[in-house]
Amino acid sequence: MTTALEQLQKISPETFPRHVGIIMDGNGRWAKQQNKPRTFGHKAGVESVRAAVRFAQQHGLQVLTLFAFSSENWKRPEQEVSVLMELFMLVLSKEVKRLNKNNVRLKVIGDLSRFSARLQKKIQDAELLTEQNDGLVLAVAANYGGKWDIVQAVNQSLANHQNNQITEAQIEEHLSLSEFASLDLIIRTGGEQRISNFLLWQAAYAEFYFTDDLWPNFREENFAKALLCFVNRQRRFGLTGDQVENAKN
């Protein structure tokens, strides 16, 4: 039997998504399955992050946006939140050099003001170090909320344009990730079929792929399945199927 990874090799990379967002869900349940504390699942999830980045690079994706911590996740038990913060610090310290060597540009999106000064500095340093890289853009959404993003974009638009009529283009200009390719595909692991305040505006015409795989089990083969599914979709953007087909010829 051919694997999804093998099948993908036969498909023209031009049809691959340019920008993929992943809602990395299911760490807690993965840990629970093995009678381990939830934080064990978060730690195990780091290996899946590495695999996803590797996959994105190997398949020429332009942008990979990973949902690491939502603006609602602060409501979790204090101990879990602090482990997640420590993990974030640790991963930044350990992985940034390698990302830089691999020509990856790191961006962290979200309301960073709620993080400790130490973590904010680490983020800033990592972004600065990788700023000139022109390979994969790895965007990490931390203390991110899609509603927050829209509100901050509207506020920036109001400040920059002295009129009281804000246009879609102005909002778009100030949204997180506005300088990169638009979002093509959202993958959510862990079986839930919801957006949980991820990239709301940016998701307007993204394709969705839901899988029951729990995040710590998600590897290149699982990512390949999502891409195979994506390349077989017809994106119509409001047109009819015939219009889309005719435009190709």
Q: Can you tell me the distance from the alpha carbon of 120 to that of 126, in angstroms, rounded to the nearest whole number? A: 10
Total residues binding Mg ion (CB under 5 A): 1
Q: Check binding of 213 to Mg ion (CB under 5 A).
A: no
Q: Which is nearer to ligand IPE, 68 or 104 (CB)?
A: 68
Q: Which DSSP helix (H) or strand (E) runs through 48? A: helix 38-58
* Residues carrying an active site annotation: 25, 73
Q: Widest CA span of the chain, in angstroms?
A: 61
For the bound state, the minimum distance from the C-beta of residue 197 to ligand IPE, rounded and expressed in Å, comes to 8
Which one of the spans 17-25, 114-122, 144-152, 166-174 is the region binding Mg ion (CB under 5 A)?
A: 17-25
- Interacting residue ranges for ligand IPE, rule: CB under 6 A: 23-29, 67-70, 73, 84, 190, 192, 194, 196
Q: Which DSSP helix (H) or strand (E) runs through 187? A: strand 185-188
Q: Can you tell me the distance from the alpha carbon of 142 to that of 177, in angstroms, rounded to the nearest whole number? A: 13
For the bound state, the minimum distance from the C-beta of residue 27 to ligand IPE, rounded and expressed in Å, comes to 4
Q: Which is nearer to ligand IPE, 55 or 218 (CB)?
A: 218
245 binds, among Mg ion, ligand IPE, none (CB under 5 to 8 A by kind): none
Q: Which is nearer to ligand IPE, 84 or 126 (CB)?
A: 84
23 binds, among ligand IPE, Mg ion, none (CB under 5 to 8 A by kind): ligand IPE
For the bound state, the minimum distance from the C-beta of residue 51 to ligand IPE, rounded and expressed in Å, comes to 16
x/- letters, 24..63, toward Mg ion (CB under 5 A)? -x--------------------------------------
For the bound state, the minimum distance from the C-beta of residue 84 to ligand IPE, rounded and expressed in Å, comes to 6
Residue listed under structure tokens 């077989």: 232
Q: Check binding of 220 to Mg ion (CB under 5 A).
A: no
* Residue at shortest CB range from Mg ion: 25
21 binds, among Mg ion, ligand IPE, none (CB under 5 to 8 A by kind): none
* Residue at shortest CB range from ligand IPE: 28
Residue listed under structure tokens 């500095």: 121
Task: Show the tokens assigned to 186.
Answer: 């959202």
DSSP 182: P
Q: Which is nearer to Mg ion, 25 or 149 (CB)?
A: 25
DSSP 181: P
Residues 6 or more apart whose CB falls under 8 angstroms from that of 127 comprise: 106, 107, 108
Sign of CA dihedral 77, 79, 82, 84: negative
| Cα Rg, the chain, nearest whole Å | 19
Q: By C-alpha distance, which of 99, 88, 98, 145 is closest to 122?
A: 88
Q: Can you tell me the distance from the alpha carbon of 147 to that of 144, in angstroms, rounded to the nearest whole number? A: 9
